[in-house]
Amino acid sequence: MLWYKSWLETRWRFLIGLALLLMMACSSVASYPRVAQLLPDAAPLLRNIDATSVVGRQILRAVDAESTYRGFVWWQWIQDNLSKTSTVLAILLGTGGLLAQTRGGAAIFTLSLPVSRDALLETRAATGLGELLVLAVVPSLLPPLLSPLIGQYYSTIDALVHALCVFVGGAVFFSLATLLSTVFSDVWRPALLACLVAGALFIVEPVVLGGAPYGIVGAMTAESYFRTGAVPWPGLFVSAAASVAMLYAAVMNVNQLEV
Amino acid sequence: MSDALTIEAVDLRKRYDAVDALAGLDLQVPRGSIYGFLGRNGAGKTTTIKILLGMAKPTSGTARVLGADVAASAAAVDVRRRIGFVSEDKELYDYMTVDEIVRFTASFYPRWRPDLADRYRQRFGLRPDAKVKTLSRGTRSQLALLLALCRGAELLVLDEPTSGLDPAATEEVLQALVAHAAADGATVFFSSHQIAEVDQIADRVAIVDRGRTVVAGALDDLRAQYRRVQFVFDAAAPAAAFRAAGVARIARQGRVMTVLCTAGAESVVAEARALGPVSVDVMPVTLKDIFLDTVNVEEA
pLDDT, one tens digit per residue, over A149-168 is 999 999 999 999 999 999 99
User: How does residue B300 score in pLDDT terms, banded at 50, 70 and 90?
Assistant: very low
Please tell me the distance from the alpha carbon of residue B62 to that of residue B69, in angstroms, as a whole number: 7
Whether the CB-CB separation of A129 and A8 falls below 8 Å is answered with no
Select the more confidently predicted residue: B184 or B100: B100
* pLDDT of B9: 96
Final residue of a domain: which of B188, B221, B254? B221
Averaged confidence pLDDT in chain B: 89
Is residue B297's pLDDT more than 60?
no
Select the more confidently predicted residue: B17 or A23: A23
Whether chain A has a CB inside 8 Å of the CB on B133: the answer is: no
The answer as to whether B297 is a domain residue is no
The answer as to whether A159 is a domain residue is yes
Amino acid letter for position B273: R
User: How does residue A103 score in pLDDT terms, banded at 50, 70 and 90?
Assistant: low
Please report how many Cα atoms fall inside a 13 Å half-sphere around the Cα of residue B69, on the Cβ side: 9
* pLDDT of A39: 79
Mean pLDDT, rounded, for B31-43: 92
* pLDDT of B185: 84
Q: Are residues B127 and B256 in the same domain?
A: no
Is residue B298's pLDDT more than 50?
no
Please tell me which of the candidates B53, B78, B96 has its beta carbon nearest to residue A112: B53
Mean pLDDT, rounded, for B128-142: 92
| Chain A residue closest in CA terms to B107 | A1
Q: CB–CB of B105 and A113 under 8 A?
A: yes
The answer as to whether A48 is a domain residue is no
The answer as to whether A58 is a domain residue is no
Q: Are residues B197 and B80 in the same domain?
A: yes
User: How does residue A37 score in pLDDT terms, banded at 50, 70 and 90?
Assistant: confident
User: How does residue B1 score in pLDDT terms, banded at 50, 70 and 90?
Assistant: low
Whether chain B has a CB inside 8 Å of the CB on A245: the answer is: no
Q: Are residues B118 and B210 in the same domain?
A: yes
Mean pLDDT, rounded, for A4-22: 96
* CA-based nearest distance A109→chain B, Å: 6
* pLDDT of A72: 94
Whether chain A has a CB inside 8 Å of the CB on B81: the answer is: yes
- Measured between beta carbons, the chain A residues lying within 8 angstroms of B56 are 258-259
Q: CB–CB of B16 and A106 under 8 A?
A: no
Mean pLDDT, rounded, for B11-40: 93
Q: Are residues B64 and B192 in the same domain?
A: yes
User: How does residue B165 score in pLDDT terms, banded at 50, 70 and 90?
Assistant: confident
Whether chain A has a CB inside 8 Å of the CB on B285: the answer is: no
Which residues pair with residue B35 across a beta bridge?
Answer: B189, B204
The answer as to whether B168 is a domain residue is yes
pLDDT, one tens digit per residue, over A60-97 is 777 778 889 999 999 999 999 999 999 999 999 999 88
The answer as to whether A53 is a domain residue is no
Q: Are residues B110 and B166 in the same domain?
A: yes
Please tell me the distance from the alpha carbon of residue B28 to that of residue B1, in angstroms, as a whole number: 10
ipTM comes to 0.85
pLDDT, one tens digit per residue, over B206-218 is 999 999 999 999 9
**DSSP secondary structure, A49-118, as one string:** S-TTSHHHHHHHHHHHHTTSHHHHIIIIIIIIIIHHHHHHHHHHHHS-SHHHHTTTTHHHHHHTSS--HH
pLDDT, one tens digit per residue, over A192-247 is 999 999 999 999 988 887 767 789 999 999 999 999 999 999 999 999 999 999 99
User: How does residue B296 score in pLDDT terms, banded at 50, 70 and 90?
Assistant: low
Other beta carbons less than 10 A from residue A230's beta carbon: 12
The answer as to whether A228 is a domain residue is yes
Q: How many domains is chain A built from? A: 1
* pLDDT of B246: 82
| Chain A residue closest in CA terms to B47 | A259
Q: Are residues B122 and B34 in the same domain?
A: yes
Q: Are residues B122 and B173 in the same domain?
A: yes
CATH number for the domain that contains residue B36: 3.40.50.300
The answer as to whether A67 is a domain residue is no
* pLDDT of B251: 85
Whether chain B has a CB inside 8 Å of the CB on A4: the answer is: yes
Q: How many domains is chain B built from? A: 2
Q: CB–CB of B55 and A5 under 8 A?
A: no
What phi and psi values does residue B54 have, to the nearest 5 degrees? Answer: 75, 15
Q: Are residues B174 and B270 in the same domain?
A: no
The C-alpha angle A208, A213, A217, rounded to 5 degrees, equals: 65
Which range of residues forms the domain containing residue B273? 227-284
The answer as to whether B116 is a domain residue is yes
| Chain B residue closest in CA terms to A3 | B104
Is residue B28's pLDDT more than 50?
yes
DSSP SS3 for A148:
helix
The answer as to whether A57 is a domain residue is no
Which range of residues forms the domain containing residue A181? 2-37+74-256
pLDDT, one tens digit per residue, over A111-127 is 999 999 999 999 999 99
Averaged confidence pLDDT in chain A: 92
The answer as to whether A194 is a domain residue is yes
Is residue B169's pLDDT more than 60?
yes
Q: CB–CB of B93 and A109 under 8 A?
A: yes
Final residue of a domain: which of B191, B221, B251? B221
